Amino acid sequence: MGITRSDIFTDYQNEMAALAKVLGHPARVAILQHLFKINACVCGDLVDEIGLAQPTISQHLKELKNLGLIKGTIDGTRVCYCIDKENWTKMKSKFSQFLDQDLDSVKECC
């Protein structure tokens, strides 16, 4: 049905999935990489840098902003985007918690 049955999962599972999902597109990975490299930039720069149309970039920026990974400030006719450091740190610890599950005690079945 294309609809995720989030009602049957825990909050943790849904939040973890939502975070992973927003990283699950190469354009958004590229945007975040560029913001780390450049510190801050405007939408138009990303259009040039990445090579997708302006509305497409704008849409990806919106998703990143909705999850809190970036923030934007209006600067005249432009909008300056940058990494939201506080939320990035929170995301990192959420991922760490998931990825660093105890692998040593895992027994492979085969």
Partner DNA sequence: TATAATTATCGTAATATTGCAATTAAACGA
Partner DNA sequence: TCGTTTAATTGCAATATTACGATAATTATA
The DSSP output letter for 98 is H
Name the amino acid, one letter, at 20: A
Report the distance separating Cα 93 and Cα 37, nearest Å.
22
Considering the rule CB under 8 A, would residue 4 count as an interface residue with its own copies? yes
Among 54, 57, 62, 98, binds its own copies (CB under 8 A): 98
Spatial separation of the C-alpha atoms in residues 54 and 52, rounded to whole Å: 7
Does position 107 interact with DNA (CB under 7 A)? The reply is: no
Spacing of C-alpha 10 from chain mean position: 21
For residue 12, the minimal CB distance to DNA (Å) is 16
> Which listed residue (35, 60, 64, 69) binds DNA by CB under 7 A?
60
Question: Per CB under 7 A, which region of 29-37, 59-67, 86-94, 97-105 contacts DNA?
Answer: 59-67
Q: How far is CA 106 from the centre of its chain?
A: 29
Q: Is 66 near DNA (CB under 7 A)? A: no
CA 21 to chain centre: 8
32 or 47, CB closer to DNA?
47
Q: Confirm or reject binding of residue 48 to its own copies (CB under 8 A).
A: no
